[in-house]
Structure 1
Amino acid sequence: MTPSSEPGPSDTVAGSEHLEGTAKHDGAKYEGPCAVVLAAGKGTRMKSDLPKVLCPVVDRPMIHFVIDALEKAGIHRQIVVVGYEADSVRKELQSRPNSNIDFVLQEEQLGTGHAVQCCREQLANQAGPTIVVAGDSPLIQPTSLKTLLDHFNASDLALLLGTLKKDDPTGLGRIVRNEAGQFTGIVEHKDATPEQLEICEVNMSTYLFNTADLLESLGRLKNNNAQAEYYLTDCARLLFEAGRPVEALAALQPCESLSINNPDELRLVDETMRTMGYA
């Protein structure tokens, strides 16, 4: 599949920049999996001057646990999208032994879709699949990532969403399936019908793409929504509507549902990780 020529963020990639001091690649096709880690946000509700991904859990900036999980799952190529306090995030991650991370600057916060769109140059030589994960999800599990990769590699998919079945899915996007159990879409909580609100399988913002399909769908994203942002979730809809194979797999573990949006949630995740033996 070739990238769309339709105008959109793919044409200008406004507010993106490849930072100095990042990993160097010779342009050869990379056959292994690649991760795009979203780490550009400030995290205003955290009430900290630190960028959100550098807020500590178990005495380490939380993004280290995300990179650790990727490495343990065999995903050794990583592209980290930075924004707020970009240099601080870059310097922190470059302190890792044998760091081989690309950094891309998202100057304007125009949504998750735009964040990945900023990586288009880095993904041009990516022949293997691309997984997109959040940099503020330190409880992401290597076993979950490996399960997703194994399923993806055994299939011919454009996109595999990592999902979770949650007893209380309030506020989260629901995974909609047809009578045959096949994925048909994601509906946000605020847009869900009473019947859809009963769905307990939720989207956890972990996406494993065929890279060509990712680039093609990014080129067709629109920002015609109330926030005027480009949403990565729309890639799932665009690919499904185009007849490309999209699946959702409930491979994530309950601990991975814990989000960090404020100091109380940060403390809860810290306590949970200590209980799980991360300390």
Structure 2
Amino acid sequence: MSAPLAIVLAAGKGTRMKSELPKVLTPARGRPLVQYVVDALREAGVRQIVAVVGYRSELVEQALAGQSDIAFAQQTEQLGTGHAVMQCRSQLAGWDGPVVVVTGDSPMLRPASVKKLLARFDAPADQRPACVIGTAHREDPTGLGRIVRDASGQFQAIVEQRDATPEQQRVTEVNMSTYVFDAPALLSALDRLTTANAQAEYYVTDGPGILLGQGRRVEALPVLEACESLSVNTPEDLAKVEEEMKRLGMGKSSPPHSGR
């Protein structure tokens, strides 16, 4: 397997945080949310990180300055997660290894989970997936996209809660916004994303379905821990994250970051 690249979605404003800071710079136990994500990716073996920045991008770039393995891509319009990944086309064009796509507001991301997803790309070429989706089982999946499988257990679709049937809403396996794509497959999927949805935005969640429709191998692996779904959208979310961090000894006592 070639060395993995990662795309960190870090362009959002975070209106519900009631702060002028970009959401990914919200401090949790003394460190910005995005720094936890970056450090987890490094520990999982990622050697190049592209942070997609937008709202007050200069602050995010300043916070991550001096980390030699981080490059930046600008998302000047907020047109969805798929649109954010589209801004990384130049970095993806020459890449032939796996590409991890994660959000910058999910500081509970575990290096071990990312490693498990990346391990699928060590498979022989004819068994290597075009995309692996990291999933988890949640006792209360409310608000999260459900993983729909066929009768044989193979991945079929990610269905957002608002679009889910009553039967699908009972599914406890959820999408964790953690993906690993084969780089050429990702570029192919990006070319086929559309805004045919209620928000009129490009969604990276549509990528796996596009690849599946092309006959490509797409897998959903329930290898993530439930705590990894703790992302920060509100002050209440932040309090939950900090409580979990304190329990796990994360944050203030963590070693300082270092770029490679």
TM-score range for the pair, normalised by the shorter chain length: over 0.9
Query: Does the alignment pair 1:142 with 2:122?
Result: no
Where in structure 2 are there 5+ consecutive unaligned residues?
253-260
Corresponding residue for 1:168?
A: 140
Aligned runs of 1:95-244 on 2, under 5 Å? 95-96=66-67, 99-154=68-123, 155-244=127-216
User: TM-score, normalising length from structure 1?
Assistant: 0.87
C-alpha distance in 1 between matches for 2:117 and 2:103: 16
SS of alignment partner, residue 236 of structure 2: helix
C-alpha distance in 1 between matches for 2:182 and 2:17: 34
Per-residue Cα deviation, 1:110-154 (whole angstroms, up to 9, x for no partner): 000000001001111111110100000100000000111112322
Corresponding residue for 1:5?
A: none
SS of alignment partner, residue 175 of structure 1: strand
Choose which of 199, 223, 239 in structure 2 pairs with 1:251.
223
C-alpha distance in 2 between matches for 1:110 and 1:157: 27
C-alpha distance in 1 between matches for 2:11 and 2:238: 18
State the shift of 1:272 in Å: 1.0
Give the paired residue count. 248
C-alpha distance in 2 between matches for 1:34 and 1:236: 18
Where in structure 1 are there 5+ consecutive unaligned residues?
1-29
C-alpha distance in 2 between matches for 1:100 and 1:69: 13
> How high is the sequence identity, in percent, across the aligned residues?
54
- Measured on the aligned residues, the alpha-carbon RMSD in Å equals 1.2
- What letter matches 1:80 in structure 2? A
SS of alignment partner, residue 94 of structure 1: coil
- What letter matches 1:233 in structure 2? T
Query: Does the alignment pair 1:70 with 2:29?
Result: no
Structure 1 segments, 4+ long, off by >6 Å, are none
C-alpha distance in 1 between matches for 2:121 and 2:164: 28
Aligned runs of 1:24-103 on 2, under 5 Å? 31-96=2-67, 99-103=68-72
User: TM-score, normalising length from structure 2?
Assistant: 0.93
Per-residue Cα deviation, 1:52-106 (whole angstroms, up to 9, x for no partner): 000000101111000100010010210000001101100110144xx32110010
SS of alignment partner, residue 73 of structure 2: strand
C-alpha distance in 2 between matches for 1:133 and 1:122: 16
C-alpha distance in 2 between matches for 1:225 and 1:184: 19
- What letter matches 1:103 in structure 2? F
- What letter matches 1:51 in structure 2? P
Which shows bigger deviation, 180-189 or 37-46? 180-189
C-alpha distance in 2 between matches for 1:181 and 1:250: 12
Does structure 2 conserve the Cα–Cα contact (< 8 Å) formed by 1:152 and 1:160?
Answer: no
State the shift of 1:171 in Å: 1.2
Per-residue Cα deviation, 1:196-250 (whole angstroms, up to 9, x for no partner): 1111100011110011000001001111222110011111111111111101000
